[in-house]
Amino acid sequence: MILLPAPPIASFPANPTLLLSSPPYWPRRRDNSAVVSAASRDVDSFTSKSGYLFNLSADEADSLSEYNFPRIDAMYKKKPLILLRRLAQIGTTFGFWFGLRLADEALDRSEQMFKVRAAELRKLLVELGPAYVKIAQAVSSRPDLIPPIYLDELSLLQDQITPFSTEVAFNMIEDELGLPIDELFSEISPEPVAAASLGQVYQARLRRSGEVVAVKVQRPGVRAAIALDTLILRYLAGLIKKAGRFNSDLQAVVDEWATSLFKEMDYLKEAQNGIKFRKLYGSIKDVLVPKMYTEYSTSKVLVMEWVEGQKLAEVNDLYLVEVGVYCSFNQLLEYGFYHADPHPGNFLRTYDGQLAYLDFGMMGDFRPELRDGFMEACLHLVNRDFKSLAKDFVTLGLLPPTAEKGAVTKALTDVFQDAIARGVRNISFGDLSGDLGKTM
């Protein structure tokens, strides 16, 4: 088997060259043993700090094909020591960090240590695992909620997470696909080209067809960690609800989030999502949707077409904004099947100027009645018909039917009239979203 030289982590090479490599890159022998490189011996921080979770409960957690709270609850009731250890880890981790912040304030050094604390928080989230990284990824796309320095640090969690052992990854590929690596691929990078919270990606060439592909391998222990963390978050949400701090059903929010997360961990489902997405939107001008290889994919391994390009944060291409908006409206209004995790790490700008979608783990369905309500809401907003817009918010499920229509109309009028008065060029969508959130 020929090995690809490993490109830098979290970047895709402009012209990946497939060259014969020599040790210590990762020569595998016919007996399936391996010579481990120095890099692959390093243990990533999640495994180092939270490995006890999946060492003790991975087999049972791996059998969870979908989110099932009663089953997760029963599973960890039989393992109270793991639950207590996890609670202690989470409490001491965040307690230590908040303690440092309080010490900074007491010593009047908050400004000097602000960037340091942001970097420390990012590292702590990685140590705690995928559930907390996922929450941070969602927050990192909201510049209206967090300071710029924290935004910069948390944005690194989109595609710059320490990879796990390549030895473990290659063994998982062989176990899942039932063949030795060198029978599957004629070439493969000895180290991952990108690593994220749920898995990491290798560049390879299929032995059968010679096509260059991306091989996505799931991070060991993610199901066990996410199962336990959602259990903890759900109970915490219940305590907050009992305390009367929120009107929303936070437990239902956790359930919905966990359901999506478990779907995202099923790579075979992701492959099917990618095939459907390519069929519906792959023909849109300057939209690229990679081909999926379901014959090489399982719930933990996904093989898809290799895409070369640049991260969106590294380019300034307004045309891609037009392409993305047009494709998004097609998703929402034409077919209702939409990409539900559109953070920058899930896209690339190809070298010929196309917008490439890379990840299809988290998708959604916009029901026809919601599509109609959304289109009506857009028309009523453009026409400044805020009375009808209030009714649209009920149709869309954003407000309960019992809401006082007159009060809602006045509130929406205040929010949108203020935004319109500023003019299109001066609208801050972060401020508008914040004002609308407070109003709701």
Measured distance CA(434)–CA(440) in Å, rounded: 10
SS3 34: strand
Catalytic residue among 62, 182, 341, 392: 341
Residue 437 burial (C-beta neighbours within 10 Å; 0-12, 13-18, 19+): exposed
* CA proximity to 270, closest of 319, 218, 348, 219: 218
Structure tokens at 282: 């792959």
Asked if 414 and 392 count as a contact pair (C-beta separation under 8 A), the reply is no
Side-chain half-sphere of 432: how many Cα atoms within 13 Å?
Answer: 15
Examine the residue annotation and report whether 341 is marked as an active-site residue of this protein: yes
DSSP state of 292: B
Measured distance CA(290)–CA(138) in Å, rounded: 24
Measured distance CA(250)–CA(246) in Å, rounded: 8
* Nearest 10 degrees: Cα torsion 157, 162, 166, 171: -60
- As annotated, the active-site residues are 341
